[in-house]
A and B are shown apart, each in its own frame.
Chain A
Amino acid sequence: MSKSRPTILICDDSLLVRKKMRDCLNEYGEFDIIEASSGQSSIELFKQHDPDLVFLDIVMPDKNGIDALKEMMAVKKDVKVVMLSSSGTRSHLKAAMEAGAHDFIQKPWEKSQIEHIIRNIF
């Protein structure tokens, strides 16, 4: 499947977080954005859309973000996954880095942090 614009997948069980992130990314006007509200659905959408960047929450229903990250990395080793979680504990940070996360942003995030990520990747 060929893509005309880069695709970003937002995975978070909170509608509010997804909305705020989508609003922020839409300001660039250059991305196709897809959303998942659980760990399992994030894997399915990941396989279906082959996104260029993933923002991934950790505490989610049915599959946590660390397990979802591992599955994504198994499908595409060089995918850029940025963890986006309120729970930036030592163990979560360590697990995410070991599993191959590109970065880890602790909520509440700021636009400048997203800008930094976008500028580095695209």
Chain B
Amino acid sequence: MFSQYFGNYLLNRGIIKPEQLTDALEYQRSVHLKLGVIAVNAGYMTPAQVEEIHNMQKKVDKRFGELAIEKGYITGQQLEEMLATQRQGHLMLGQALIDRGHLTIEQLQKALDEYKNEYGMSTRQFNVVRKDDSQEIEQIFRDYGEALLGKMYSDYVTLLMKNLIRFVDDNPTIEINQFKSDLTAQWFVSQEIFGKINMLTAIACDKDVFVKFAARFAQEEITEPDELAQASVGEFLNLHNGIFLVNMSNNGVELEMNPQQVEKNRTLANPGKAYVITCNMTWGKFDVILV
């Protein structure tokens, strides 16, 4: 799970030029992800070992995985894992940049290492809360019968936990429940996500929590639910949803979102199938709604 798109990272760091990124993004659609890039990304092989196998393939009619096992660089199990690797966006882009001659595999490895180090939201950070939360979250949605969208909902909530830790509280806990009755909130901040999947996301809370939330995220002195407070809570939701969209994009699903809305004294009628994620912070609690 990453908080920044890999292409954006390469551009910001000056590793590639805008025209090279544009070219690779266009080419990426037809790219074939090679085992060498997967092996380097997984840390199983060095770029030099990958080059060695590529050179061997010019002389011997054997597959990459077969030769890598023969040379003792990877195990059969690691090969199975590599073959099962999904079309991860950052790897597809990396392969496109190599194929188009914009990066060498050594440069890609260095960039991938730095990218993961800087922008990969590690499970270590998430473990601050509880070791197996992400699996538990997935199980909860599965228990609610979310076969198709369960993974997406659990990714959303897992990311929410990480962003709460990152931006507003060191030790949040959450409860996930199905929406069972109408909900009235003093402050209601919402944002629609649309595309292949449509979802309404919202933060609902009372005035006191709204102001505390705003002050913590903005790192400003905020004492009233004024325009700056509304912008602050709205921006948290916008930021969280934006990072969610980046993660989905990295997995090959492109989504869009509308600008966030802030409403006072809003009642949300029970929309049928929806979820309420109650977030317990050290400074109060609020609900995140997923419809």
Contacts and interface: CB of A to CB of B under 8 A. Distances in A.
Given A87-B257, A89-B5, A106-B4, A14 B12 contact: no
A61 B259 contact: yes
Interface residues of A, number: 30
Contact of A87 (B7, B11, B235, B242): B242
A87 B245 contact: yes
Given A86-B241, A90-B249, A15 B25 contact: no
B232 interface: yes
Interface in A74-116: 85-91, 93-94, 97-98, 101-108, 113, 116
Given A61-B259, A93-B25, A86 B239 contact: yes
A17 interface: yes
B65 interface: no
A13 B254 CA distance: 23
A104 B228 contact: no
10 contacts: A15-B227, A16-B235, A87-B241, A87-B245, A87-B246, A89-B249, A89-B255, A93-B11, A104-B12, A107-B242
For the complex, would chain B's binding face be called helix, strand, loop or mixed by DSSP majority? helix
Nearest to A58: B242
Nearest to A91: B254
Contacts, number: 95
A23 to B, nearest CB: 10
A60 B254 CA distance: 18
Contacts of B4: 88, 106
A107 B228 CA distance: 18
Interface residues of B, number: 40
Given A15-B227, A86-B239, A94 B25 contact: yes
Given A14-B235, A61-B259, A86-B242, A106 B25 contact: no
B57 interface: no
Contacts of B22: 94, 97-98
B108 interface: no
A88 to B, nearest CB: 5
A91 B222 CA distance: 36
B66 to A, nearest CB: 33
A19 interface: yes
Contacts of B245: 87, 89
B8 to A, nearest CB: 5
Interface of B: 3-5, 7-8, 11-12, 18, 21-22, 25-26, 28, 89, 93, 218, 220, 227-228, 230-232, 234-235, 238-239, 241-243, 245-246, 248-250, 254-259
B8 A106 contact: yes
Contacts of A14: 231, 234-235, 238
A86 B243 CA distance: 6
A26 to B, nearest CB: 15
Given A91-B254, A97-B25, A113-B12, A16 B243 contact: no
Contact of A15 (B8, B12, B228, B254): B228
Contacts of A17: 231, 235
A3 B60 CA distance: 68
A13 B259 contact: yes
Given A97-B21, A104-B8, 8 more contacts: A16-B232, A59-B257, A86-B239, A86-B241, A88-B5, A88-B242, A89-B248, A90-B5
